[in-house]
A and B are shown apart, each in its own frame.
Chain A
């Protein structure tokens, strides 16, 4: 579906959407990936975890954490079988891509979701070398303030597909949290 041939109507829409995103200083693609939860525990569910095939010794980890019990939570850290990992946030500020460590974790809003996605908050896995191949599955543990540890098996995907998943068709997503009313708000340090 994402590979469909270019249609002029889509081009206009996409150009407009990108221009809006660029003007908003937000690198997010704005859509909400859906599918089966890969793991659910302690009030949070994890969707579409993926690691784009890295070109160097660092890789990104993208996924969506949905709050399922209305309490909210906080993602405090990530560990992988390959080595340690950091929580990062990318933001665009005045045409500059900036990436900082999220030292206080990342909030999962009550009734909402935390999206680790290209150009936004993400995990950074280190110490990979050229060990990974598309189709590999990597054991990753997420640590939450309330839900505790949630274990995942995360597939390594072609790098360009990691972006495509994040841009997938918007579907009904869980009610947005009060502070997540706008798309632009998604990157604001949460």
Chain B
């Protein structure tokens, strides 16, 4: 079962804008280096004690459509509009980062009151088109939280979703005898009720941090009073 995508360098983002954005994201809040004031998002994150990294500039809630695990089209922007939404691109054959992220997040959510949990939408996009079938994504997500939304699509649809969300393009990274790994964005983007992302969460965010931060974001909205 050869993966149709050949190993490629992550330079699919030839649109200068996307590259500039990724470079800016990797700068990760080092605006201070240039003597500039920390961004508004950075100040808010610090004030609320959030474990997130502030984005240098807000990203709009992206418009893309993929298929959910029941086989229906899922228009991300419309379906999640106005809701506190976490978006993660990963793959189900991933042993380390993807389950680590989602199990921490799920444990953090479980510790919150039902009313808060109901405000949070978690969307997982399976970027490994050949292996991330609807059924497999659903069964995998059910181990973390049956309410997590799972999306799948063709390679072209997945690439369009990544571009729309301004995350690095995924690609087949390494191959071994009977398998392969897929490189994917390592962070989880958070869209607040203003339909923008101001924050992203790195791998290693603990359940306690998720609980704290999601409670704060659900209560305060953006920008917090």
The stretch of A5-13, A41-49, A146-154 in contact with B is: A5-13
Contact between chains at B97 and A58 (CB < 8 Å) = no
The stretch of A21-29, A72-80, A135-143, A176-184 in contact with B is: A21-29
- Residues in A with CB closer than 8 Å to B184 are 96-97
A14 interface hit (Cβ, 8 Å) = yes
Q: Complex: how many Å from CA A84 to CA B73?
A: 38
Contact between chains at A119 and B97 (CB < 8 Å) = yes
Which residues of chain A (1-60) have a CB below 8 Å from chain B?
2-4, 6, 8, 11-12, 14-15, 18-19, 21-23, 25, 27-29, 52-60
Q: How many chain A residues touch the partner (CB < 8 A)?
A: 52
A115 interface hit (Cβ, 8 Å) = no
Contact between chains at A6 and B211 (CB < 8 Å) = yes
The stretch of B56-64, B113-121, B173-181 in contact with A is: B173-181
- Residues in A with CB closer than 8 Å to B50 are 11, 15
Report the minimal beta-carbon distance from A170 to chain B, rounded to whole angstroms: 15
Pick the contact of B95: A4, A100, A122 (CB < 8 A).
A122
Q: Which bracket fits the contact residues of B? A: 35 or more
Q: Complex: how many Å from CA A98 to CA B7?
A: 12
- Residues in B with CB closer than 8 Å to A4 are 208
Pick the contact of B206: A23, A101, A164 (CB < 8 A).
A164
Contact mask B75-106 → A, CB, 8 Å, 1/0? 00000000000000000111111011011101
Q: Complex: how many Å from CA A14 to CA B181?
A: 30
Q: Complex: how many Å from CA A8 to CA B46?
A: 10
Contact between chains at B186 and A97 (CB < 8 Å) = yes
A160 interface hit (Cβ, 8 Å) = yes
Which residues of chain A (54-68) have a CB below 8 Å from chain B?
54-60
Pick the contact of B93: A18, A58, A101, A162 (CB < 8 A).
A58
Contact between chains at B206 and A167 (CB < 8 Å) = yes
Report the minimal beta-carbon distance from A93 to chain B, rounded to whole angstroms: 8
Pick the contact of A55: B25, B99, B183, B209 (CB < 8 A).
B99
Pick the contact of B204: A23, A57, A95, A119 (CB < 8 A).
A119
Given A22-B202, A99-B181, A163:B104 Cβ within 8 A: yes
Report the minimal beta-carbon distance from A48 to chain B, rounded to whole angstroms: 16
The stretch of B26-34, B190-198, B217-225 in contact with A is: B26-34
Contact between chains at B185 and A97 (CB < 8 Å) = yes
Q: Complex: how many Å from CA A190 to CA B208?
A: 31
Ordered by A's residue number, 13 sampled pairs between the chains whose C-beta atoms are within 8 Å are: A2-B206, A22-B28, A27-B202, A27-B204, A55-B102, A88-B181, A92-B203, A95-B25, A97-B184, A99-B97, A119-B203, A124-B95, A160-B107
Please name 6 further chain A to chain B contacts, defined as beta carbons within 8 Å, in addition to the given A12-B49, A94-B26, sorted by A numbering. Answer: A55-B144, A100-B174, A118-B204, A160-B104, A163-B100, A163-B206
